[in-house]
Every structure is written in structure tokens, then in C-alpha cells.
Amino acid sequence: MSQMIVLGKELLRISPKNACHIEYSYNAGRSWVIRYMGTAAGKFMDLQVVGGEIIALTSKGTYYSTTQGRQWVLRSR
């Protein structure tokens, strides 16, 4: 797993400033914008693309997103 993944034409990463946030870049990492800002999923530790989902290992369990990281759903604790 990784803290940054390629998602189509975007890069997606765990924010280095706040591990509860997911950021994206549409310009190869020159600038970053927050896509997910929440605490429900806990602190993100790892990201991976599997099929049409993003899988995240967090401090509260394993979560997945089918919305490019905008929303996260608990898969298992």
C-alpha cells in the first residue's frame, strides 16, 4: 500500500499535515486540494486502488471509496 496513488489523471494522497484528510492534485503534484476532511474514518495510514475502489487502512479499520475519495465506507474493523 502507499500514502499516494494515481487515480486516472489525478494523484491522491494522505495529507502530510493531517492524516484525517485526503488531498488530490490534477497538476502532477505541483499543488494539492483537500478532497476529504473528516474524522469518521480515523487517521489514514495506507491507500490502494483495487478495481473500481480505493481501499484505505485507517486507525478505525479498513474503509473503501467508490467516489474518488470523497466519501468513505467501513469495510471491516
pLDDT value, residue 2? 74
pLDDT digits (tens, 9 = 90+) for 21-48: 999 999 999 999 999 999 999 999 999 9
Edge-to-edge, what's the strand order for the sheet holding 53-58?
Answer: 44-50, 53-58, 61-65, 73-76
Kindly report the length of the chain: 77
Residue range 59-69: mean pLDDT, rounded: 97
Going from N- to C-terminal start, the domains of the chain cover 4-76
Q: How confident is the model at residue 1 (pLDDT cuts 50, 70, 90)?
A: low
Is 2.30.30 the CATH number for 4-76? no
User: What are phi and psi for residue 59, nearest 5 degrees?
Assistant: -70, -10
Q: How confident is the model at residue 77 (pLDDT cuts 50, 70, 90)?
A: confident
pTM of the model: 0.92
